[in-house]
Amino acid sequence: MHHQDAVASLRALLWLSRDYDHGISWSCFQGAWFGGQRCGFALLFRRQRLSALHFNVVLPQAADAAPTRAEIDREIVFVRQELGLQLGTAISDSGANFHWGTAWSRFDPVGFQASSGLQFALHG
């Protein structure tokens, strides 16, 4: 999928799109759903080709303030379970590898947040 096609297809959810003029662009979307929960996601494009999808999930009773480590861990467990159901395999601490790329959900200690997404293998 090319950047312009993705943005046009998801225009109703588009929040922000930024081209860094060196072959990399990000488009961020909000108002989507993952596993029955609200989520936001960002698409990374390298040379106009989809390279990765990063997302976060808003679970019920999540505080409006910065999340606690327990809330972050609940999000990670939820995302791993849902990704496992959708992809047909368990998602471990190190993620899961496929012929098309990698899926992951883990704690990011630098950002103190859940880091979840799909990284696509770019061929050619």
For 119, other C-beta atoms within 10 Å of its C-beta total 17
User: Which residue range forms the structural domain that includes residue 52?
Assistant: 3-120
In the block, tokens 């109703």 appear at 12
40-74: per-residue pLDDT in tens? 999 999 988 899 999 999 888 766 778 899 999 99
The total domain count for the chain is 1
69-93: per-residue pLDDT in tens? 999 999 999 999 999 999 999 999 9
pLDDT at 109: 96
pTM: 0.88
pLDDT at 18: 87
pLDDT at 2 over 80: no
